[in-house]
Amino acid sequence: MAQELKNYKDRLFCFIFGNEEHRDWTLSLYNAVSGRNYTDPGEITITTMTEALYMGMHNDVAILIRDELDLWEHQASFNPNMPLRMLQYTANIFEKLITLRKKNKFGTKLIELPVPKLVVFYNGLQEREDEMILKLSEAFPAEQAADSDIEVRVRMININKGRNTKMVSGCKALEEYVWLVDRIRDYQKEYEVSDAVDLALNDMPDDFVIRVYLEANRVEVKKMLLTEYDEVRTMELFKEEGREEGRAEGESRLSTLFTKLRELGRTEDAFKAAEDQQYREKLYKEFQLA
């Protein structure tokens, strides 16, 4: 499966909410998250980083709307390093904007920048609060964190079924996405994930706004979902390996490796590393994690 799926690096969440074809869904999600009530999808500019521009680094969804830069990430497993990643993404997008607008960051005139708003949509199986704020300062030595000149705050929103229902219901496309993920998980109790995905897609009610779009792209959608579930499975294998090593740093190192491979789109390498210790050691050296 790894060979077949390696080119499907996008996530279904990004496919739905980061698509020019359906900026109305993107605007609806923005309104639900921000509490605003904007009505013109034409105000949105999708400025998501792509691997081609940033040497393998890419974020899930980034949009410009009025005076804001909103960065959204979807996470099926909890990642406490999202403030660091969001800092990197934001800096790269700012650099892109400055270049496109032909501004001089070395000049004497202050460059106006959009206000960054950073959000993670979490739907992993690990129990988490409805909302929590992840801070970059949590990565600093505790006795020095208060003296840092840099802070990054990331709002993590739990979008599992039954969580943050008011916000989720404020965006019909998100509500339907949550329904689909939950239905797949229900079917997984009895079926293999491939069959569970097919059954859940078949079950989508006719009045779902995302139904026609997903059906029209069913092959790609299924491969995206299978890739996501394989990533979660691989991460669990990594965690098991870390626990078997008998030390917390082992699990942390595996998690860091998996995150780097995922960001670079190296899904096949992640699958192989999860099951092949020698190959994993080779990748540790490559990423200087030995």
Q: pLDDT of 30-81, one tens digit each?
A: 999 999 999 999 999 998 865 433 334 467 899 999 999 999 999 988 889 9
Dihedral pair phi/psi, residue 230, rounded to 5°: -70, -35
Q: What's the pLDDT score for residue 284?
A: 87
Q: Where are the beta strands (DSSP E) in the chain?
A: 44-46, 61-65, 68-75, 115-122, 131-135, 153-158
Q: How many CB atoms lie within 10 A of CB 70?
A: 22
Range of the domain at 141: 2-286
Q: What's the pLDDT score for residue 51?
A: 44
- Name the least confident of 13-17, 174-178, 208-212, 243-247: 243-247
Q: Which two tokens stand for residue 195?
A: 């069959």
Global confidence as pTM: 0.79
H helix or E strand, kind and range, residue 33 = helix 23-34
**Structural Rg of the chain based on CA atoms:** 20
Q: Which two tokens stand for residue 61?
A: 């969804």
The helix/strand/coil state of 119 is strand
Residue 264 above 90 pLDDT? no
Q: How many domains are there within the chain?
A: 1
Mean pLDDT of 206-219: 94
Percent with pLDDT over 70 in the chain: 83
Q: Which of 189, 131, 181, 185 is nearest to 158 (CA)?
A: 131
Give the full edge-to-edge strand order of the sheet including 131-135.
Answer: 44-46, 61-65, 68-75, 115-122, 153-158, 131-135
Q: What's the pLDDT score for residue 5?
A: 32
pLDDT tens digit string along 114-134? Answer: 999 999 999 998 899 999 999
User: Residue 201: how many CA atoms within 13 Å on its side-chain side?
Assistant: 22
The helix/strand/coil state of 283 is helix
Residue 243 above 70 pLDDT? no
